[in-house]
């Protein structure tokens, strides 16, 4: 499974960005797709996850109400992260990740995700 993330950039506080993650390869092994982020000097943290069926989503408290994870209805192998009302503390490198048997209680644990894409940098200026 290969993941390709894109869509990062520089935006002012209060602005929006949409990240994309294209999945290819043995996609039949993927049941969960997620986004994590890592700011300079900090550990990688969970942002949001969606089940491959699209019927369940999970969010970190810090992004609830501002970020939306979704799966493209036409191209099933693309997952988006719509980020609205961005704040300077959202500045980080964002990574998409995929996994198979991840139970809900472990959904925010990066070690449960088997596949990772390269990061895409998001910078929010104040």
Q: Residue 28: its pLDDT value, please?
A: 77
The set of residues, in sequence order, having a beta carbon less than 8 Å from that of 85 and lying 6+ positions away, is 14, 16, 66
CA 77 – CA 63 distance, rounded (Å): 24
The encoded tokens of residue 40 equal 């300079």
Whether 93 and 7 have beta carbons less than 8 Å apart is answered as no
C-alpha angle 80-84-89 in degrees, rounded to nearest 5 = 105
Q: Residue 114: its pLDDT value, please?
A: 94
CA 38 – CA 43 distance, rounded (Å): 6
Q: Confidence band (pLDDT; 50, 70, 90) for 110? A: very high
CA 11 – CA 3 distance, rounded (Å): 24
Q: Residue 112: its pLDDT value, please?
A: 95
CA 66 – CA 112 distance, rounded (Å): 25
- Per-residue pLDDT tens digits for 9-68: 999 999 999 999 999 988 878 889 999 999 999 999 999 999 988 789 999 999 999 999
Q: Residue 75: its pLDDT value, please?
A: 80
- Per-residue pLDDT tens digits for 61-108: 999 999 999 998 888 889 999 999 999 999 999 999 999 889 989 999
- How far is Cα of residue 26 from the mean position of the Cα atoms in its chain? 19
Q: Residue 29: its pLDDT value, please?
A: 80
């Amino acid at each position: 499974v290969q993941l390709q993330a894109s869509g990062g950039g520089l935006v002012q506080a209060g602005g929006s960005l949409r990240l994309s993650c294209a999945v290819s390869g043995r996609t039949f092994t993927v049941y969960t797709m997620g986004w994590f982020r890592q700011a300079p000097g900090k550990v990688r943290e969970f942002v949001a996850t969606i089940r491959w069926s699209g019927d369940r989503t999970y969010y970190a408290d810090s992004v609830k109400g501002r970020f939306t994870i979704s799966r493209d209805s036409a191209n099933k192998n693309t997952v988006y992260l719509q980020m609205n009302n961005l704040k300077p503390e959202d500045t980080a490198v964002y990574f998409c990740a995929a996994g198979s048997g991840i139970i809900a209680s472990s959904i925010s644990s990066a070690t449960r995700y088997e596949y990772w894409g390269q990061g895409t940098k998001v910078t929010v200026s104040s």
